[in-house]
Amino acid sequence: MQTSLIQTSKLANEAEYIAMLALAKKCLDNPLLLNQMGDRVYAIFLEDMRCQRDRMRNYGKERWL
C-alpha cells in the first residue's frame, strides 16, 4: 500500500502543503527568486557549519563559573 506525500509530509495540513507547492513553483519560475533562495540557503548552511565547529571546539571542556 502506497502512502500519499501529504500523509508522509510534516506539514500541518493540506492547505499548507498546497501553499508550499505554489511557493516552490513561483520560485522555480523566477530566476531572481531562485537565486535569492539559493543565497539564503547557503548563508544558513554557513552559519550552521560555524555553530557545529564551535560546538566541536568546546566539546569536553568544563565550564564552571
- Cβ contacts of 27 within 8 Å, gap of 6 or more: 33, 34, 37
Q: Give residue for cell 560546538.
A: 55
Confidence of residue 12 (pLDDT cuts 50, 70, 90): low
pTM listed for this prediction: 0.57
| Cα–chain center distance at 65 | 36
Task: Say how many Å lie between the first and final Cα of the chain, rounded.
Answer: 57
Give mean pLDDT, residues 19-28.
90
